[in-house]
């Protein structure tokens, strides 16, 4: 049901979540990640975000996962890269210089598929998932990446005023799913002047999450 919803959205080009511009919070806070060139950045539920172009231009190796093969074909066309495509069970890898995108369900991905991860960039991923699976997703990311440093962007609004994505993920929920493994630093929390999808009071919150010393 969940997969079908997203695949239909890509099929009908109903991709209002996709922006032609680099996410301003990524540009503002990328240096906070302090990543050397050739670091491996995991972009879960990546779609064809132009933030991947940004990360590649910063010399990062990008690893992503996305349900829609159509999105990933478009991503490689827009990057002007010809991927090598290989099947690995339930997943298909699209690879080119500096990038590997896994097409399939994020929950089918294992740490072996990803290899080492230096940082995670989550924009439009946690907030794309319903409450019932967000904790499972968060624990899965921790397992996949061994709790790699993470830049997380969420939106916050009164969920009772609308249903559907992007879901509101308030600070208390971020803390409850991530505080065990991470030290959480809210870099910013800014009101959206236009609100979000008809809800007038909404904000965007950016978190820098560093692995806790164990």
Chain residues that interact with ligand SAM, rule: CB under 6 A: 6, 17-18, 45-47, 49, 65-68, 71, 105-106, 123-125, 128, 165
Q: Shortest gap between Cβ of 49 and ligand SAM (angstroms)? A: 4
CB of 153 to ligand SAM, least distance (A): 9
Residue 3 or residue 179: which is nearer to ligand SAM going by CB? Answer: 3
Closest CA to 96 of 64, 124, 68: 64
The token pair that represents 179 in the structure block: 């505080």
Cβ 164 to ligand SAM, closest distance in Å?
11
Among the listed residues 65, 61, 33, 60, the one whose alpha carbon sits nearest the alpha carbon of residue 48: 65
Instruction: Find the shortest distance in angstroms from Cβ 133 to ligand SAM.
Output: 8
- Nearer to ligand SAM by C-beta: 165 or 203? 165
C-beta separation of 144 from 171 below 8 A: no
Q: Which is nearer to ligand SAM, 77 or 179 (CB)?
A: 77
> Among 140, 212, 196, which residue's Cα sits nearest to residue 164?
196
Instruction: Read off the tokens for 93.
Output: 């890898």
């Amino acid at each position: 049901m969940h997969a079908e919803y997203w695949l239909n959205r890509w099929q009908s080009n109903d991709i209002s979540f996709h922006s032609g511009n680099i996410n301003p919070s990524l540009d503002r806070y990328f240096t906070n990640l302090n990543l050397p060139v050739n670091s491996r950045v995991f972009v879960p539920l990546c779609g064809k975000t132009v933030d991947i172009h940004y990360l590649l231009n910063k010399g990062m190796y990008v690893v992503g996962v996305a349900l829609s093969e159509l999105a990933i074909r478009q991503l490689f066309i827009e990057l002007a890269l010809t991927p090598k495509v290989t099947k690995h069970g339930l997943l298909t890898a699209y690879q080119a210089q500096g990038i590997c995108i896994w097409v399939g369900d994020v929950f089918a991905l294992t740490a072996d598929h990803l290899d080492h991860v230096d940082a995670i960039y989550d924009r439009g991923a946690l907030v794309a998932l319903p409450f019932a699976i967000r904790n499972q997703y968060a624990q899965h990311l921790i397992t996949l990446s061994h709790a790699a440093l993470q830049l997380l962007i969420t939106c916050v609004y009164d969920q009772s005023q609308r249903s559907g994505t992007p879901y509101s993920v308030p600070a208390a929920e971020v803390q409850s799913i991530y505080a065990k493994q991470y030290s959480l630093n809210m870099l910013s929390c800014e009101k959206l002047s236009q609100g979000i999808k008809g809800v007038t009071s909404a904000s965007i919150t950016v978190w820098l999450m560093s692995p806790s010393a164990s």
